[in-house]
Structure 1
Amino acid sequence: METIMIFHEVDDVDHWLSSPRREELFGPLGITARTFVDPAKTNRVGLIVEVPDMDTFQRMLESEAGADAMKFDGVRPETILMLVEP
């Protein structure tokens, strides 16, 4: 199991928080995510993600379904930063 921290910006924090897309995309792959928001009220958000298989996770992120979910959630892809626990 890999633990990843992901930071990025979104168009609308409330929409991103309430979106069912993370669970729809991650759940069937056994991926869990805890969500975080910037308390300074910016559009910066974060996740701590537990990933059973990094290759599957990466393929999902690069897939059309992954791109559609990010678009639906208002994720600004150019702002994504992922850190992997060593």
Structure 2
Amino acid sequence: MTNIRTFVDPQDPARVAVMTDVPDLDALNAVTQGKAASEAMAFDSVEPEFLVLTIGSAG
């Protein structure tokens, strides 16, 4: 992943968005399903049921 940007909702600092450029979605999906991602989300208090991934095109 490159070009990582983080946004925080000024009205609710617990609500954040992360935007990145991902060249290989299959690789990203594999990583997000692994134990390391699960542990990282737990460490950062990310609740997986509220995680939303959106896919856009670079144009």
TM range (shorter): 0.7 to 0.9
Percent of residue pairs identical: 38
TM-score, normalization by structure 1: 0.60
**Structure number having the greater strand percentage:** 1
Instruction: Please give the root-mean-square deviation of Cα atoms over the aligned residues, in Å.
Output: 1.2
Query: What pairs up with 1:1-86 in 2 under 5 angstroms?
Result: 31-32=1-2, 33-86=4-57
TM-score, normalization by structure 2: 0.83
Q: Once superposed, which parts of structure 1, at least 4 consecutive aligned residues long, lie more than 3 Å away? A: none
The residue type paired with residue 80 of structure 1 is L
The residue type paired with residue 15 of structure 2 is R
Structure 2 residues without counterparts, runs of 5 or longer: none
**Structure number having the greater helix percentage:** 1
Structure 1 residues without counterparts, runs of 5 or longer: 1-30
